[in-house]
Each structure stands twice: as C-alpha cells, then as structure tokens.
Amino acid sequence: MAEEAPQTVFSSKHDLSSGGRPILFTPLDAPGPLPKRRASGFAEFDRALGGGLVPGSAILMGGDPGIGKSTLLLQASAHIAMAGGSVVYVSGEEAAGQVRLRAERLGLSKAPIQLASATSVRDILTTLGMMEAPTLLVIDSIQTMHSDTIEGAPGTVSQVRGCAFELIRYAKENDVTLVLVGHVTKDGTIAGPRVLEHMVDVVMAFEGERSHQYRILRSLKNRFGPVDEIGVFAMEGAGLAEVGNPSMLFLSGRDEEMAGSAVFAAMEGTRPVLVEIQALIVRLQSGATPRRAVVGWDSGRMAMLLAVLEARCGLNFSSAEVYLNVAGGYRLADPAADLAVAAALISALGDKPLPKNAVWFGEVSLAGEIRPVSHSSIRQRESAKLGFGRAIGPAGGANGEGPAKGIQFTGLTMLPNLVDRIL
Ligand code: TYD
Ligand code: MG
C-alpha cells in the first residue's frame, strides 16, 4: 500500500477568472513546419508506429522480460545513429559493458550511440541539459529510474509516474523522441496500474511466445496513427530481423489432412495473415470436470463459442476436454476467428478432417448467426495467392466487396450450416 499525499482543495470562493495571462489561439492550418517523422531502420517498427518516430513524442514499449525490447531498441538506436541522428541510450538494468557486449554480438559496436548506465533522473536530465538535445532518448527501463524528489523505491507507482513525467517534459520541450521501456506486470498491464498509458503518446506491446521465434509489435494507443497495424519480427542469432511478408509464418507444415486443424484468414490492420488453428477433443470416461485450455486466443470467447455450438447446433462438448492452440505462438485478436475456431472444434469433435485447401473466417453471434466481417476480399485474395482454393465465410460479404479471383467462396449464414458441411 502506498500513501498518496492529500490534494490541496481550493475553496469555491477562490476566483480563477482574473489575474492570469491571456493565451494565444491559432488556427489548425497555421503556417509553420509540421514535425517530420524519422525512420527507425525497421520498416516493421515504422509501420506499427504509423510511419516512423515523431519528434517530441513519448513512446512506451511494454513486453514480457526477455522478449527482445532492449534488442529491438538497440538495433533501432544504432540505425538512427548511423543515419546521422544522435542517440542517447540509458540503461538502468544493464551495465554499459553488458550493453556493449550485446552490441558487439549484433555487429553494431561501431554505431555512435551515447551509452550510459544510470538510474537517477536528476543525473540524466542534468547531463542532457548540458549537451545538445538528442534525436532519440531511450530509457531502459522506467521501473529502474529513480527521482530524489519523490519518496519510495524505484518501480513504485509514484516513482514511475514522477520519473516519466520529468522525462516526458524534457522530450516535449526539446523535440526529442523518448522511448520508455516498461515491464509488463503479471496481470498484463504495463508499469503497474496503467498510470503511464495516459501520459505517453504511443503505447506499444512487444509480444510473442519466448519459446517461438516470432515477435509481434502492436500499438495499443497511438496519437499519431492507427492502432491496428502490427510489425512482425523474428528473433535470430544476430538479433531481430523483420519479416516483411508474414502471411505464411503461422501455418505449420501441413502435408496431411488432420482433424481439428483449420486455417484462418486473419487481418492485422491492413495486412492479411494466415494462421493455423488446432483443436483437440478428448472424451472423458469418468465424471471428472473436463479441462478447457486455450493458447493464443481468448478463453472466454472459446467458452462462448462452445456454448453456442451446444445450444444452437446440438453438439455435445460437456463430457470432453477441449484444447485450442494457435500455431506459431501467434495471438489472435481479429473477431473473425470465430468461424475458423468453430470449424476446428467441429472437425475435432467428429474426427473429420477439413479440406486441406480451405480457409475460414467469420464472426459468430450468440444466436448462431455467421456475421459479415471486414476485408472479405483481401482475405480471399491473400489465400488464393498462397495456394488455397476455397474460402468459407459469411454470406453476403461486407461493404459490398465482390468475389476474389482464383478462389471458390462459400457463404454461410448460420452455424448449423457449418456443422452440416463438416460432419
Ligand atoms: P532482450 O532484448 O534482453 O529482452 P528484454 O529487453 O525484452 O528483456 O532479449 C533477450 C532475449 O533475446 C534473450 O533471451 C536471447 C535473445 N536474443 C537472441 O536470440 N539473439 C540475439 O542476437 C540477442 C541479442 C538476443
Ligand atoms: Mg531489457
């Protein structure tokens, strides 16, 4: 428990309507240069940011420990430094020698980055005040920073908030792009109770399964761009490499038809991604409570889908254990996954393999209707490009999108139609 200092309360007699300085209003299209974005060296990073780093902005980069945040930022810093920008990289977690060792491994030790290992925000801001403001300032991580004006150990809510406030103010006043690394707590929020998310301009999450190679950079909040674009990276021996065309990554080697496996034509922002969904159903003999486990999707959503399949289609999952896995460590966020998951579940339940060359997409309602989803034709076009010949989705399509070439589309309206097709 942390005690917060009581707020000063003004009496209502206190009149604020006089004694201040007048503010200057300007029109929206006021002349003057707009801030120019700077490339990070990773097209995938820039894409997730909505087109590069904005000067004077603060970016919070969250992610599980060991996912690759420091690696990504060191590589981006090196690129910016080598492209003529000035970069200050402050690590509060690693000694300068450790960062240097990593840079060496990544082949970046020649990059003119100004590196420091420090945790005192006063020291950092004093030093920055004595030099020309850098283009990019990386603070790795905000939880290790400490301000002597605030009580409490580093990492507490008041310290994190106070340190971030001072650093953000410096960045705004000096047109510096600030990147704060934030650790994700057990419940998935960045830097404690989401205090930082309100203070920064961009919140990014770097995610993926540590045991898998692929990493996805997602923007959760962005004052300068869309939030549904992702960047895809692969963690390799020499650091992170970008994956420009990710649509095939999450398909496992599928040679034989297997019951319980369905390919989902997903959309990530404006990009289609094909993902394999695997379901396994184990019938229980005893009366034990069956387990339900989901990797890569929302377990509440799967419970809902199972209930709809039971109530609207008469299928019986009640005495069976249900396991769902999304291949490649990918996390599904697209609501159109419902139909593909339903197809995988039905196929696993009936032990009937789905056609190998088919993709599935569509949203399922509680009434068992299959609802139209966005970008139906982009999903189909990408599937055709990767050699799929059939697509099963919502009838009618969304936004009057026509059929895509090279792929045979089957439109369904109700979930029981799907069951009839598979079983
Ligand atoms: P790191 O950037 O330190 O993660 P974070 O800052 O998010 O905690 O990345 C650590 C992991 O990345 C480590 O487990 C090993 C892996 N890695 C590679 O596979 N290749 C590399 O070239 C580097 C630098 C790291
Ligand atoms: Mg790190």
Query: Which CATH number fits the domain that encloses residue 159?
Result: 3.40.50.300
Q: Say if residue 205 is in the same domain as residue 274.
A: no
CA distances from 394 to 11, 193, 383, 385 (A): 60, 39, 16, 21
Q: Distance between CA atoms of 394 and 342, rounded to whole angstroms?
A: 13
Rounded CA gap, 354 and 191, in Å?
44
Residue 81 lies in a domain: yes
Nearest to 60 by CA among 147, 179, 187: 179
Q: Which two tokens stand for residue 272?
A: 């289609």
Q: Is 230 annotated as a binding-site member?
A: no
Per the model's pLDDT, the better-predicted residue between 16 and 102 turns out to be: 102
In a domain, residue 26? The reply is: no
401 pLDDT exceeds 80?
A: no
Q: Decide which of 414 and 288 is more confident.
A: 414
In a domain, 169, yes or no: yes
Percent of the chain predicted with pLDDT > 70: 93
pLDDT band for 341, please (50, 70, 90 cuts). Answer: very high
pLDDT of amino acid 258? 86
Residue 68 lies in a domain: yes
Q: Is 3 inside any structural domain?
A: no
Greater model confidence, 147 or 397: 147
**pLDDT at position 12:** 56
Interface pTM, i.e. ipTM: 0.95
CB 100 within 8 A of CB 142: no
DSSP annotation of 293: E
- Model confidence at 285, in pLDDT bands (50, 70, 90)? confident
Examine the pLDDT at 11 and tell me if it is beyond 70: no
| 354 & 232 share domain | no
Q: What is the pLDDT of residues 203-237, one digit of tens each?
A: 999 988 777 888 889 888 999 888 878 888 999 88
Higher pLDDT, 24 or 211: 24
Q: pLDDT: is 33 or 181 the higher one?
A: 181
Q: Mean pLDDT across the stretch 141-157?
A: 89
For residue 104, which phi and psi values (nearest 5 degrees)?
-60, -45
Assess whether the C-beta atom of 91 lies below 6 angstroms from ligand 1: no
CA of 150 to the centre of ligand 2 (A): 25
> Mean pLDDT for the chain?
88
Same domain, yes or no: 152 and 228? yes
How far CA 324 is from CA of 139, 209, 284, 299, 381, in Å, comes to 38, 16, 17, 9, 27
The tokens 């491994």 sit on which residue? 105
Contact indicator for 109, 103 with CB cutoff of 8 Å: yes
Whether the CA torsion 401, 405, 406, 410 is positive or negative: it is positive
Alpha helices (runs of H) in 119-234, residue ranges in sequence order = 121-129, 157-174, 195-199
The answer as to whether 24 is a domain residue is no
Type of residue numbered 12: S
Q: Which of 22-36, 353-367, 381-395 has the highest mean pLDDT?
A: 353-367
Distance between CA 112 and CA 86 in Å, rounded? 8
Cα distance between the two ends of the chain: 56
**For ligand 2, a single-atom ion, which residues have Cβ within 5 Å?**
70
Q: Are residues 221 and 302 in the same domain?
A: no
pLDDT higher than threshold 70 for residue 7? no
Q: Which of 185, 218, 244 is the last residue of a domain?
A: 244
Query: Is 67's C-beta closer than 6 angstroms to any atom of ligand 1?
Result: yes
Q: Domain count for the chain, please give it.
A: 2
* Confidence at residue 392, expressed as pLDDT on a 0 to 100 scale: 94
Which residue has better confidence, 7 or 387? 387
Residue 239 Cα: closest atom of ligand 1 = 22
* Whole-number pLDDT of residue 411: 92
What's the 131 CA to ligand 2 centre distance in angstroms?
26
Could you give phi then psi for residue 137, rounded to 5 degrees? -120, 120
Q: Are residues 50 and 151 in the same domain?
A: yes
Mean pLDDT of 171-176: 94
Assigned token pair, 310 = 């039971």
Q: What is the pLDDT of residue 183?
A: 83
Q: pTM above 0.80?
A: no
Q: What is the pLDDT of residue 319?
A: 86
Same-domain pairing of 164 and 268:
no
Q: Which percentage of the chain shows pLDDT scores above 90?
A: 57
Q: Are residues 174 and 320 in the same domain?
A: no
Question: Does 145 have pLDDT greater than 70?
Answer: yes
Residues 358, 296, 189, 164, CA torsion sign: negative
Q: Which domain covers residue 344, as residue numbers?
A: 261-422
C-beta of 70 in contact with ligand 1 (< 6 A): yes
Among 106-115, 282-291, 347-356, 405-414, the range scoring the smallest mean pLDDT is: 282-291
Q: Give the alpha-carbon dihedral of 222, 226, 228, 231, to 10 degrees.
A: -80
- What mean pLDDT is predicted for residues 148-162? 88
Looking up residue 329, the CATH number of its domain turns out to be: 3.30.230.10
Distance 71 CA to ligand 2 centre (A): 7
What are 267's strand-pairing partners?
272
368 lines ligand 1 (CB under 6 A): no
Q: Answer whether residue 360 shows pLDDT above 70.
A: yes
Band (pLDDT 50/70/90 cuts) for residue 398 is very low
How many residues in total does the chain contain?
A: 423
**Is pLDDT at 16 greater than 80 in this prediction?**
no
3-state helix vs strand vs coil in the chain, percent to 5 = 30, 25, 45
The token pair at 320 is: 């069976």
DSSP string computed for 6-66: PPP---TT---SSSSPPPPP--TT-SSPPPPPB--S-HHHHHHHTSSBPTT-EEEEEE-TT
Of 21-25, 251-255, 315-319, 372-376, the one with minimum mean pLDDT is 251-255
Is 63 assigned a ligand-binding role in the annotation?
yes
Do 179 and 207 reside in the same domain of the chain? Answer: yes
Residue 70 marked as a ligand binder? yes
Question: Per residue in 291-330, pLDDT tens?
Answer: 999 999 999 999 999 999 999 999 999 889 999 999 877 8
Backbone angles phi, psi at 155, to 5 degrees: 95, -15
Looking at the structure, do residues 239 and 288 belong to the same domain, yes or no?
no
- Do 78 and 225 belong to one domain? yes
- 282 Cβ partners below 8 Å, 6+ apart? 320, 321, 323
Both tokens of 69, joined, read 């945040």
- Compute, in angstroms, the gap from residue 92 CA to the centroid of ligand 2: 9
Q: What is the pLDDT of residue 35?
A: 76
Instruction: Using alpha carbons, list the distances in angstroms from residue 15 to 10, 11, 19, 20, 21.
Output: 10, 9, 9, 11, 15
Report pLDDT for 399. 47
Tokens of 137: 């300032």
The response to whether 64 counts as a known ligand-binding position is yes
